[in-house]
Every structure is written in C-alpha cells, then in structure tokens.
Structure 1
C-alpha cells in the first residue's frame, strides 16, 4: 500500500484494490510516515500472563490428562509459576493450539481379558470378506420406552426462567413403561421383530419364543453355511440353550464379551429409535409402542443393513489398530 501511494496512486484506488476502507489505508501510510516502519505500534493493555513456552506446557498438561478441567490446569500452572492465571485464560490458550472442550466418546469398560479376547476374535476373522460375513445372522435384544430419555431435548428461555412451569419436561416413573424386542439382520434379509411379552428373557423363553419361532425358520434361507451370532447374555450362553443349538445343528460364533461396536445390529437399533421419535403420532400406550416398533422395523431398508454388514472388515481392522480397545463403531 505504501509503495502504491508513493507511486502516485490515490488512497481510494489502493483501498479498492485491497478491499479495505480508505481510512485503513490512510492510517497505514500515516504510521509509516511517523515511524518509518510497517509494524503496528506497541499497544497498551495488560501484558500476557503466560509466555509461549508456558502455553506449550499447558497444552502438554491437557494432552497428558485430557479429562482435566481448565480450573484444574490453571491451579497446577499457578503452583508452578507462582503467577495468577484464570481458567478462562487456559481455555483461550488451549483453543489457540487447536484443543477444544468436547463431549467424550463413550464405550463399555474393557479389562485386559476383554481386550485379549477381542484381539483373538478379530485375528481369527480378519481375513473374512463380505461373502463370509453375509452368512451370519446378527441378533440382539433392545429395550424401547414410551418416553425415550435421549438427552436431546432443549428449551428456549430467558435468564432466570429455568423453573417456570412451561420450561419443565414432565417424566413419569420408568419413562412410562417399555418393551423389550429381539431382532436379527442378515445381508439379504432381516427377521421379524419379536416383541417380548415379559419384562425379561430367560433361557426357556429364549429357546421357545426366539430360537424356535424365528432363528430356525430363518436358517434354511441362508443355507448349510448359516451361523448365528449372539452376545454373551445369560439366556444365550445357558447350558440348555447350548444343548438345544447343538441338537438342531445351528452353529454359533464365539463372540467376545463387551463388544457392541462389533455388532452392526446396534446401529439398526439406533435407526429404529430415531424413526420412532420422528413419527408424527407418538405412541401413548405399550400396545401402540409395540405396533409402532413393528411398523418402523419393516421400513428399514435392506441396503442400509448391507452397508452395515459390509463394514465388518473395517471393524476388525479398527479393533486390531486399537489393540483390543474401544473403536469409533
């Protein structure tokens, strides 16, 4: 800008060329005439409470203890530097280094034995392709409530109006009641959604109502290479259940415990829950809830299920990369 002005250009033309105001160009040229420099003049104000080296140290503390609050980091820094530094300053410094305070990812508690079992499972099936995974019937139970406490409800209000009556979310005990369901997904089809009539499932109910009524009729659809996937819930691993599966000749996978991220049907339950919440008419009774679940289960596209099953090789690779730990799935 200074060079263009000294060449005889007008300040307005220079401002238009750099998309700034004419006053900005005038101030820049005035500063150059007074100081002979292009840099900003020293500004007044409170000096920085931390240096660049101390800011890097704060970043290392945050990365070393990612669940530490900004107030905790500020106290630790004050004890070392013997200088006042607020938690808000710590937040600004961390944001400048690309760190943000975010909601953490959640996952089951995995012990060393769990991680070893998950690694052994993934190494066993790491070479499987989608063709092998398409022979598996992935099954699971889930529970849906009349009032789904998903934590996504928000309210627009003014300051001090938190306890106004119109700002309350009224919830009944046990969220108005719930229904447990069972379902299974396979590459080319899905089973009927079974609504459990009792609040819990034992081995006898699992054998008569689920294995006999749903799994056995579905097995011929896949063929002789059919394999049943089920988790390690007590009804699934009971001695009577194992004996029945052996009698009817249904093979099962040796599924590792605490591994919902490996079962693609968990994402189908999430789809079903979202579809239920997005219904124009929400169910008001357990009978209406059961009918709505069956209806929405039938609308889940098979292409979406195929996409989930096609992700099984990536899930195996993710578990191996995490050394048996939790994954993004």
Structure 2
C-alpha cells in the first residue's frame, strides 16, 4: 500500500511538471490507464489515496466472513478444504479455496506447520514451574557453573520434511527435484556431548547397542563429564535429563560416591536445555555439507568436524537465554515455551 502511494505521488509530480501521460507511464513503468486514473482521482479528491470502500466488492457478506474466521479459531487444525466444506454445509455458501485463504489472511490468520513438543501432564507442568521459580533468580554467572549435556542422533539419509524444492510445472518427478529415501534412514549415529559458556566436551559416539547405566558411567561420565566438571571448579553442577540410562540406581550411586552435583531436571523439558539448540546448529551444518556423506564412517567424520567448527561464541550466546527460559516457563505456568 505504501509503495502504491509513493508511485502515485511520483505520477502526480511528473504530470504537474508538464510531462505527458505517455512519458510518465514509460518513466515509471506503469500503464497509461493507471496514470489517467491516478490523475483523475487527484483532481476529484485532492489525494492520491483511494477512498475507503471504493475497491472491488467482496463476494461474501461480513457475517459469512465472521463465521469462517470463528470456525478457523475454533479448530486450529482445520484445512482450507475443511473450512470450505463447513461453510457450504452450514451456511449454503460456495466459495473458492483461494477466497477462504484471503478471508483468513485479512483476519491475520496464516497457515503454518505446528510447533511440536512432548505431551505435558499436570505433574510435568507443576515440576517445570517449580524448577523455573527456583532458578529464575540465577545470574549468568550461576548458569556458567552448569555443564549441560544430552544425546542426539543424526540419520545418514534422514528425511527432512521441512525441505522444499524450486521447480516448474511438470518437474515434480524430475531427478533434480526428487528426494530419494532409504528405509530407516540408511542407518544413524547417536552421540553425547556437554557444553558450557567457556568450553565443550568432545563428541562421544554411542556405538554397539543401547546406552545403559553402566555404559553411561564408563563411556561418558568418567572419561568426559568428570574432567569437564573439574575444569569448571568445585561449585560445578551437572545437567542431564531423565533418560532411563541417566537415572538408573547405579548412576545415582556413582554420582553420589564421586561427589557430582546434579541439577534436579524436570521431565519432558527439552525446551529448557540449551544444548538442544546447539544440536540444531550442528544438524544444519551437517546437512549443508556437500557432497553429502554416503557411509556411516563418513557421517561420523562430518559430525565430528562440524562439531569442532561451531564457534564457542555461538554456544555462549545460546546459553545466555537461560534466564529468559525460566521466565518463559513461569509465564506459561509450566506449559510449553517458544524455546
């Protein structure tokens, strides 16, 4: 709208300077009819703006538009087809899918992929809210004492449902626009790491089966987590989530024996763990590598290399969000947050 007003103002300025309508149309790359109508509107109203209500009339009445919007807000997972069919069944009004979309856009309702997260029961919300209230007063220096850790997995040929391709009509099955998928992603690798604002641990690949409590102690805690915690000082705190391998009796006993202080982490709270965002950074970097890895060995080499290339400043910036995460949980009364 602003661009149209600016262009109309230029049309009027050139015409008042004595330029012909044909010259103005060529100069501003608009039709001569546009120049004529703009000049006529200016002569009649003294303004280049269109009069309210002077545009093309809509094909639906306001009450129909209100019904459409209310149906969309009542069931947020309705498709345009669902809304079109409901309007036909309930109000006996037939409109196109494009009209449905335009009416929703006019009400500032857009179609997006839904945000996803774990299902939160009442107990989970209570625990999350309690945790956030206990930690909301922590300073950045307090959070700097925490070693955040987690496991992640990357598939060799994982399907990325967010990816789009640019193609022309008739090119849907063209090789350049087609994405081949491999059963079970062609294999995957699981790995563990820990981060804090000053440093990060090495990436530890979890191979040959499931991560058990015993393996967690011998392959993760002793060789990697403990040295990192020692480097953080005597007031260091270890954060891991509530995965079964992390909370087995043997792990709890070992941590108590060696004096590892553990953050009492609420269940189903990946949005509170900043390393999840670091994993996102890592996965994007791995996906961008060309040519893409074709074997598990190549994939592991790429993951390791990209992990080491992530700037520490990037990790530090992500960690500065911890106070905001706590406040977001409190504002959501223990519910899901933007993180």
Match of 1:232 in 2: 242
Distance 1:78 1:149, change over 3 A: closer
Structure 1 segment 4-153 matched on structure 2, within 5 A: 12=20, 23-24=33-34, 26=36, 48-153=58-163
Match of 1:277 in 2: 287
Structure 1 residue 65: Cα displacement:
1.9
**What is the SS of the residue equivalent to 2:120?**
coil
Distance 1:189 1:32 in 2: 65
Structure 1 residue 320: Cα displacement:
1.4
Match of 2:208 among 198, 203, 207: 198
- TM-score where L is the length of structure 2: 0.82
Distance 1:303 1:32 in 2: 56
Distance 1:71 1:217 in 2: 58
Structure 1 residue 81: Cα displacement:
2.6
Equivalent residue pairs, number: 318
Structure 1 residue 167: Cα displacement:
5.0
Q: Deviations over 1:220-241 (max 9, x none)?
A: 1111111110000001111111
Match of 2:3 in 1: none
The two structures, once aligned, show a CA RMSD in angstroms of: 3.4
Match of 2:225 in 1: 215
Distance 1:115 1:30, change over 3 A: closer
Match of 2:182 in 1: 172
Residues 181, 195 of structure 1: 8 Å contact kept: yes
Distance 1:208 1:50, change over 3 A: same
Distance 2:301 2:42 in 1: 77
Distance 1:83 1:129 in 2: 58
Residues 180, 199 of structure 1: 8 Å contact kept: no
**What is the SS of the residue equivalent to 1:237?**
coil
Match of 1:288 among 277, 298, 320: 298
Residues 138, 229 of structure 1: 8 Å contact kept: yes
Distance 1:192 1:28 in 2: 67
Unaligned runs of 5+ in 1: 34-38
Distance 1:50 1:250, change over 3 A: same
Distance 1:84 1:170 in 2: 40
Distance 2:42 2:217 in 1: 87
Residues 264, 308 of structure 1: 8 Å contact kept: yes
- TM-score where L is the length of structure 1: 0.84
Distance 1:247 1:60, change over 3 A: same
**What is the SS of the residue equivalent to 2:190?**
strand
Larger CA Rg, structure 1 vs 2: 1
Distance 1:199 1:282, change over 3 A: farther
**What is the SS of the residue equivalent to 1:118?**
helix
Distance 2:227 2:145 in 1: 15
**What is the SS of the residue equivalent to 1:316?**
helix
Distance 2:187 2:41 in 1: 73
Distance 1:238 1:192 in 2: 24
Distance 1:283 1:91 in 2: 41
Match of 1:251 in 2: 261
Structure 1 residue 260: Cα displacement:
0.7
